[in-house]
Structure 1
């Protein structure tokens, strides 16, 4: 899986400036994955396995915008109802923050990557403002920069298919990532934990 992500450019190494303004020696872009159907299916299969471990009666909601393609395929694989959280407030129509049918249901959020958990927390606030309940969020990759604890602080358990540590370790073991880049990433990770 790690090699496949690297081959399609889903993970890159270099010097990148993130949305937060921080610099990083790697960049994860899972928005490219749906353009590769076989890899997309494999990624969603891993997602579905992890989501399937969560007990209870719930619906899935994709976090805008990167989480929505994954949530869509996972909902089909597990035969679970799909909702999606809108990005920003709507000032027209029904002025809903969430699309799909739900009342006071439990919602499991789906997103591609977590860093600090801010996008997931915002999505959970939108769901809860409309009467839903969020106790779980599932991401494909956790960058291990505080999301798990930040979400736990607001009552949400974060489930990650992989952590960045696991992903780069796999790339190193398969000789895709050299020792110098591996060390740089692990040092960066320690600084940002």
Structure 2
């Protein structure tokens, strides 16, 4: 029997953590950067994350906020054999206007994220999905930077479930 690598080991293998000086989306300055988007371009890691998310969550539809959450939502939907939805970063005023692409009304939706820091992107996704009629009680993230997302999401009745915490990556 072959020992399967952990998500943490795969993230390290695919260089999902870099050290230096970085400005995060939240505006905070960090001595390291978690680059899940690039790491997820590797099919083995994307497939593994999609499978992990699908096995840990109970949902009707999986959703991801553009850009980082979309491939995760697709991989999770494929692994679970369920529909996925996309939360746009802004509404469009042409074509099919709106922020949420996909059928979420009256359905239990799992929101997936690549990285959570303060929880801003996840909160935006939850707000948009709820406005579209979805029930959202759980967000799953590949890596939680452990900088407030758990508390921010709990304040709106949402549980954050990380596959990996940044402290696990920093101690390898």
TM-score under structure 2 length normalisation: 0.88
Deviations 1:135-169 (A, max 9, x none): 11110110000000100001111111111112222
Post-superposition, which runs of at least 4 consecutive aligned residues in structure 1 deviate over 6 A?
none
Corresponding position of 2:23: 17
Matched length: 166
For 1:6 and 1:20, the matched residues in 2 are separated by: 24
Q: How does 1:37-116 map to 2 (within 5 A)?
A: 37-51=43-57, 54=58, 57-116=59-118
Q: How does 1:118-129 map to 2 (within 5 A)?
A: 118-129=120-131
- Return the structure number with greater strand share: 2
**Structure 1 position 102, deviation (Å):** 3.0
Mind listing any 5+ residue stretches in structure 1 that lack a counterpart?
A: 172-193
For 2:60 and 2:15, the matched residues in 1 are separated by: 33
- Pick the structure with greater CA Rg: 1
Instruction: Please tell me whether the aligned partners of residues 6 and 12 of structure 1 are also in contact (alpha carbons under 8 angstroms).
Output: no
For 1:80 and 1:42, the matched residues in 2 are separated by: 16
Instruction: Please tell me whether the aligned partners of residues 86 and 98 of structure 1 are also in contact (alpha carbons under 8 angstroms).
Output: yes
Deviations 1:98-151 (A, max 9, x none): 111232212110111100111011111111112112111110110000000100
State the secondary structure of the residue aligned to 2:66.
coil
Q: Does 1:34 align with 2:72?
A: no
Work out which of the residue numbers 148, 162, 165 in structure 2 matches 1:163: 165
TM-score under structure 1 length normalisation: 0.79
Across the aligned residues of Structure 1 and Structure 2, the Cα RMSD in angstroms comes to 1.6
